Amino acid sequence: MRLILLGPPGAGKGTQSQRLVAQHGIVQLSTGDMLRAAVAAGTAIGKKAKAVMEAGDLVSDDIVIGIIADRLDEPDARKGFILDGFPRTVAQAEALDVMLKDKGLKLDAVIELVVDQSALTERIMRRAEETRARGEAVRKDDDPEVFKHRLDAYNRDTAIVAPYYKARGQLRQIDGMQPIDQVTTAIAEVLEAATA
Ligand code: AMP
The yes or no reply on domain 2-189 and CATH 3.10.450.50 is: no
Residue of the nearest CA to atom 2 in ligand 1? 32
Q: Give the mutation target among 15, 34, 57, 59 for probing the ligand 1 site: most ligand atoms within 8 A of CB.
A: 59
- Contact between residue 124 and residue 106 where contact means Cβ atoms under 8 Å apart: no
Residue ranges lining ligand 1, Cβ < 6 Å: 9, 31-32, 35, 52-53, 56-59, 64, 85-86, 88, 92, 141, 150
- Contact between residue 8 and residue 117 where contact means Cβ atoms under 8 Å apart: yes
Residue 168 CA, chain-centre distance (Å), reads 20
Residue of the nearest CA to atom 10 in ligand 1? 56
Provide the pairing of β-strand 171-175 with 27-30.
unpaired
Please give the torsion angle defined by the CA atoms of residues 177, 144, 17 and 105, in that order, rounded to the nearest 10 degrees. 110
Whole-number pLDDT of residue 5: 98
Whole-number pLDDT of residue 124: 87
Going from the Cα of 27 to the center of ligand 1, the distance in angstroms, rounded, reads 18
Q: Is 104 left (phi over 0), alpha (psi -120 to 50) or beta?
A: left
- Contact between residue 113 and residue 172 where contact means Cβ atoms under 8 Å apart: no
Beta-bridge mates of residue 109:
3
Provide the pairing of β-strand 27-30 with 2-6.
unpaired
Whole-prediction pTM value? Answer: 0.92
The one-digit pLDDT tens for each residue of the chain (196 residues) are 999 999 999 999 999 999 999 999 999 999 999 999 999 999 999 999 999 999 999 999 999 999 999 999 999 998 899 999 999 999 999 999 999 999 999 999 999 999 999 889 888 888 889 999 999 988 888 888 899 999 999 999 999 999 999 999 999 999 999 999 999 999 999 999 988 8
* CA atoms of 113 and 11, how far apart (whole Å): 6
- Domain coordinates of the chain in residue numbers? 2-189
